[in-house]
Amino acid sequence: GENVEQHPSTLSVQEGDSAVIKCTYSDSASNYFPWYKQELGKRPQLIIDIRSNVGEKKDQRIAVTLNKTAKHFSLHITETQPEDSAVYFCAARYTGTASKLTFGTGTRLQVTL
Amino acid sequence: DVKVTQSSRYLVKRTGEKVFLECVQDMDHENMFWYRQDPGLGLRLIYFSYDVKMKEKGDIPEGYSVSREKKERFSLILESASTNQTSMYLCASSLSPILAGVREQFFGPGTRLTVL
């Protein structure tokens, strides 16, 4: 089955700085890679996703890059703000498993003033 | 707006009790999922269902069973609760990928279960 590793487990940045979270996946047949954000006490919510036929996707201050050769993908947050503080999860979908996602272990991002 | 609800936010049960966690979604989604969330372990899939009465094991199905008698409702059952099942349980739903490709999973608010 698919295995997803996520690093770092915690990340602290100053407001205005950039943050990068990296994930690697094991199965080259995976074709969909979403990122979820979970604020304290709340449910995970999708913030951005990328499919295997695209190398990069941006949405305002967040972007995701995908390197299929190396089997890794990254979340980039620019100009971080205190409201970016949350736990971020990456995930990968293996094509043979319908809608099943395998999640990473999460990164706790703290944006300090 | 998609709405996924779970029957309880907090639940305390005793070892050996049978526990039912219920999830309801109101967007006619074909797929429903049950995860457990533990610190440092992320979200781990217990079971999922891609249609009424259909179910498949996820990565950690041991000690759990599920039921999906109606499209909008997906139940997680702990036949005999144990202390190592103390966790946050999250339900999610999504449209089927068959017609329009893989779709976002929408999560419920979670049930924090404590087994004493």
C-beta atoms surrounding A9 within 10 Å: 14
Question: Contact A99/B48, CB-based, under 8 Å?
Answer: yes
Q: Where are the alpha helices (DSSP H) in B8-116?
A: 97-100
- Residues on A contacting B at a C-beta cutoff of 8 Å: 1, 6, 9, 31-32, 34, 42-46, 49, 89, 91, 93, 98-106
Question: Contact A100/B45, CB-based, under 8 Å?
Answer: yes
Question: Contact A99/B105, CB-based, under 8 Å?
Answer: yes
- Is residue A104 within 8 Å of B42, Cβ to Cβ? yes
Residue B87: what are its φ and ψ, rounded to 5°?
Answer: -175, 175
**pLDDT interval class at A96 (50, 70, 90):** low
- Is residue B31 within 8 Å of B95, Cβ to Cβ? yes
Distance from CA of A3 to the nearest CA of B (A): 11
* Chain B residue with the nearest C-alpha to that of A103: B43
**pLDDT interval class at B103 (50, 70, 90):** confident
Question: Contact B58/A100, CB-based, under 8 Å?
Answer: yes
- Model confidence pLDDT, tens digit, residues A37-89: 999 999 999 999 999 888 999 999 999 999 999 999 999 999 999 999 999 99
CA distance B42 to A87: 10
β-sheet bridge partners, residue A10: A108
Question: Contact A99/B31, CB-based, under 8 Å?
Answer: yes
> Strands, E, within B1-116: which ranges?
4-6, 10-13, 19-25, 31-38, 42-51, 54-57, 65-70, 73-78, 87-94, 106-107, 111-115
Tell me, yes or no, if B103 comes closer than 8 A to chain A by beta carbon.
yes
Of A5, A79, A68, A69, nearest in space to A31 by CA: A68
pLDDT at B93 exceeding the cut of 60 = yes
CA distance A98 to B2: 21
CA distance A77 to A37: 12
Contacts of B100 (CB under 8 A, 6+ apart): none
Q: Note the pLDDT of residue B18.
A: 97
pLDDT at A97 exceeding the cut of 60 = no
β-sheet bridge partners, residue B92: B33, B107
Tell me, yes or no, if B45 comes closer than 8 A to chain A by beta carbon.
yes
Distance from CA of B102 to the nearest CA of A (A): 6
* Chain B residue with the nearest C-alpha to that of A41: B109
CA distance A8 to B44: 19
- Model confidence pLDDT, tens digit, residues B26-75: 999 989 999 999 999 999 999 999 889 899 999 999 999 999 999 999 99
